[in-house]
Amino acid sequence: MADLVYRVAALDDAHLAADLMTAAYPALSQDPVLTRYRWERPRRGYAFGRYIVERAGRPIAFTGWVHGPWEQLPDRHCEVETWLDAACLDRELLRSIWSWISDRAIEQEAGMLLAYAAEDELEMLASLATLGFRIDRVDQVSELDLTAHGARIVSAAAEAKTEAVVGGIQFVTLAAWQDLDKIRKLHELDSATRQDIPHTLPILHESLEDFARRTSAPDRPADRLWIALDAGRPVAMTYLKFPPVRGSVWTGYTCSRRDHRGRGLARAVKLQSLAQAVELGVPMVRTDNDAENAPMLHINRELGYERRPGFVAHLKPVARREDG
């Protein structure tokens, strides 16, 4: 559309971008502090482009692209995103912005575009479909009402802790874990389990430096990251993300080592985290899991989580500029 102006988003635009993303999909409010933190500290080797979209001098959308090191991505996939203020919602406008940011990704020699939309964003889903994006995977989102289920969760957490202690397992927070090498050990656990997440596209290895930076983000207090230790070795972990300004509390990641699965440790360590949230007065928590991640989906159902609209990943192969 000729009346749209795209300008490169500077670091000081992080708050505006978070506001635009929140206005686009209020159910997934974006925290301005976290947005700036991520912009200030991009993952090593990643490239990105961020833009504010204006119409008649007024910001109406945020759009961008990001990809990992091309040498680690045989498919050369590049994620593109578009967040249009819901007050301006229009399918042709969406198509125009998606097309523009897709072209910017192709200029980076992308071979595949990746885009997300929520299951209840009907205009967004329709726009992606008409542009040739096809559904790849679905992330199921679930919500646990801690006001209704809190007492049961706290009781189950205490029971799980007692059973774990009998089996030689200790539950501890990252803050309370007295091990000078704990970040490296936790990074090793994270790296060892990430590939077990159902996926289509490659899951790239995260460096220790990037992991440490992510672990110390403003939404991840060290006293709210829970770890299961077996003889001092981390074998399972989970954490909740607490946005400092706005947004829901979400489970960030839950995992257990392959050689310790079948013992209920993922459920047990998650219960410790949820019980802590109850004690902190958190009214509800959300989580998202790939629709093919049957073990975690089973745990969530057992704990009382209820489905809400999830997120749909779309892929679109594109011709690289060098391919003509």
CA distance 69 to 234: 30
Q: Which two tokens stand for residue 3?
A: 């009346």
- Mean per-residue pLDDT, 14-41: 97
- Mean per-residue pLDDT, 85-108: 97
> Which amino acid makes up residue 173?
T
Q: What does pLDDT average to over the chain?
A: 95
- Mean per-residue pLDDT, 232-258: 96
Each residue's pLDDT tens digit, 195-205: 999 999 999 99
pTM passes above 0.85: yes
> Structural domains in the chain?
4-132 (3.40.630.30), 141-311 (3.40.630.30)
| pLDDT of 322 strictly over 60 | no
Each residue's pLDDT tens digit, 190-227: 999 999 999 999 999 999 999 999 999 999 999 999 99
CA distance 262 to 43: 34
276 to 52, 112, 224, 270: CA distances (angstroms):
39, 41, 8, 10
- Mean per-residue pLDDT, 29-36: 98
Q: What pLDDT sits at residue 324?
A: 45
- Mean per-residue pLDDT, 28-42: 97
Q: What pLDDT sits at residue 319?
A: 84
- Mean per-residue pLDDT, 246-261: 95
